Structure 1
Amino acid sequence: MAQWIEVIIRSVSIIFGLFFITKLLGKKQLSKLSFFEYIVGITVGDIAGALSMDIELNLVNGIVSILIWSLFPLVISFISLRSKGFRDIVEGKSRTFIQDGKILEKNLKREKYSTDELLEQLRKKDIFQVSDVDFAILETNGELSVLLKKEKQPVRWEDLFNKTLPVKTPLTIIMDGEFLEETIYGAGYSLAWVKEQLIMRKKKVQDIFLGQIDATGTIYFDYYDDQLEKNGGEV
């Protein structure tokens, strides 16, 4: 067989293989990658490119290597979905940079984030004054999420009819069926009070996928057994 024909066969086979692996890993791969997923993507791409061009390389060994590298993100994702502690280790935790218009310098240092970098990220969101920011948090994917103070936000329908409430970032108090005690007590509530709210709803903490509380003390619970449409939420 001519070498150029073998290169074509290898390339087409690897393209279809990578497409299948990408679909298997999920849509998250197309949006925001974690550090580990980024490393895996580079490595798999490098292996695939080498297999396509170098006909002296054993194709079977290369495919096995790609499968092994692709298997790790699947295993990590599977464990991460079931363990917040493991997810915090692999993906890290979000970090608050600005609260009530004040920069939290210690958190900047922990993330090795300079003041210039913070101001640059704010300018990209058309924010030029730190005092205009009510809340800014560095997400685990490296993106900065910002909530402006109420008086700096665009006017809404509720504003015109004086039906507005103080806008504060809701706090997550339950995640993946586990209490986040540090957040609960930090918000001025007690674990016993949150448990009472669950009892009133005839639920256990294990039934809660996500629990949040807003500035007014209103709790929102998202349950594992939500009744959705039969299409599973697909559109």
Structure 2
Amino acid sequence: MKLFLEIIIQTFLAFFTILFITRILGRQQVAQLTFFEYINGITFGSIAATLATDMNQNTYQHFVGLLLFGVLTGLVSYISLKKREFRKVVEGEPVLVIQDGKILENNLKKVRYSIDELSLLLRDKDVFNPEYVKYGLLEINGKLNVIKKAEKRSVTCEDLGISSNSESIPTEVIIGGQIIYENLRERKLTGKDLMNMLKPFKVNRIDEIYYSTIDENNNIYVDKYDDKIKYQIDISEDNRNI
């Protein structure tokens, strides 16, 4: 009975301590879930869970640890609001991953995103082909914001009173310099057919291509490792302040 009573007391202590601290810290823990806040929330919850269930007479130590963690979180949040440089170190910066329909592989590597993860984020924005994107910006909370090219924006053929061929979901045929032969066969194409389709892009070797897709109308999208973008935009704070 004494054991259950201790668990009840410690659980109430953990619950109301978290409630009190989160009310003081504000709503950014939920509304702006950055990488730092995600890890912070997991750790915060872990300490509280230990406080609620530990039966080794360490309640005081866990309680102090929970309070100290809350104070440090509040301190970091406060400094981040006041100091942009500090906020950039803690939370990071938005990263441009697509420019003029070209995937910026180096920027994608910096944020440790794969082409599959980028494709998923694009589909979430109703974009099935990177070629349609003027700018793709990966935010600090992991969400992707896109600005479509002018000709691909929301005016529809129905609005203009004209007919158009329906779009299809493109099939990935090259990823990271390697041909996906299974997908190629689904499009009833051979390796030779693919090389012929790549000729207009002045591709000599498959390993020059980072990503390529083909739709049901055999329209091909090609993104090379060397994008040859004349003026690549750098949106980092350091360069904006120059």
Normalising by structure 1, what TM-score?
0.62
Tell me by how many angstroms 1:6 deviates.
2.2
2:129 matched residue in structure 1: 129
**Equivalents in 2 of 1:21, 1:7: separation in Å?**
21
- Check whether the contact 2:29–2:41 (CA below 8 A) recurs between aligned residues: no
2:5 matched residue in structure 1: 5
SS in 1 for 2:57: coil
Q: Which amino acid aligns with 1:49?
A: A
Q: Gaps (5+ residues) in structure 2?
A: 161-232
SS in 2 for 1:142: coil
- Check whether the contact 1:94–1:138 (CA below 8 A) recurs between aligned residues: yes
The answer to whether the aligner puts 1:182 opposite 2:227 as a matched pair is no
**Equivalents in 1 of 2:56, 2:91: separation in Å?**
38
Q: Which amino acid aligns with 2:57?
A: L
Identity of aligned residues (%): 43
Tell me by how many angstroms 1:183 deviates.
3.0
For residues 13-162 of structure 1, the aligned pairs below 5 Å read: 13-155=13-155
Q: Gaps (5+ residues) in structure 1?
A: 161-170, 174-179, 186-235
Tell me by how many angstroms 1:52 deviates.
1.5
Change in 2 beyond 3 A, CA 1:150/1:184: farther
**Equivalents in 1 of 2:127, 2:29: separation in Å?**
30
Which has more radius of gyration?
2
* Cα shift readout 1:111-136 (whole Å, capped 9, x = no counterpart): 22222221121112221111111111
Normalising by structure 2, what TM-score?
0.61
Tell me by how many angstroms 1:71 deviates.
1.5
Number of residue equivalences: 166
- Check whether the contact 1:137–1:144 (CA below 8 A) recurs between aligned residues: yes
Tell me by how many angstroms 1:38 deviates.
2.5
Q: Which amino acid aligns with 1:135?
A: Y
Q: Which amino acid aligns with 2:106?
A: K
Change in 2 beyond 3 A, CA 1:48/1:128: same
**Equivalents in 1 of 2:62, 2:112: separation in Å?**
38
Q: Which amino acid aligns with 1:80?
A: S
Tell me by how many angstroms 1:89 deviates.
1.0
Q: What's the RMSD between the two structures over aligned residues?
A: 2.6
SS in 2 for 1:136: strand
* Cα shift readout 1:175-199 (whole Å, capped 9, x = no counterpart): xxxxx673377xxxxxxxxxxxxxx
Q: Which has the higher contact order (CA 8 A, sep 6+)?
A: 2
Tell me by how many angstroms 1:105 deviates.
2.1
**Equivalents in 2 of 1:132, 1:21: separation in Å?**
45
**Equivalents in 2 of 1:28, 1:96: separation in Å?**
24
- Check whether the contact 2:35–2:140 (CA below 8 A) recurs between aligned residues: no
Q: Which amino acid aligns with 1:62?
A: H
- Check whether the contact 1:95–1:137 (CA below 8 A) recurs between aligned residues: yes
- Check whether the contact 1:133–1:148 (CA below 8 A) recurs between aligned residues: yes
1:196 matched residue in structure 2: none
SS in 2 for 1:71: helix
Tell me by how many angstroms 1:91 deviates.
0.9
Tell me by how many angstroms 1:76 deviates.
1.1
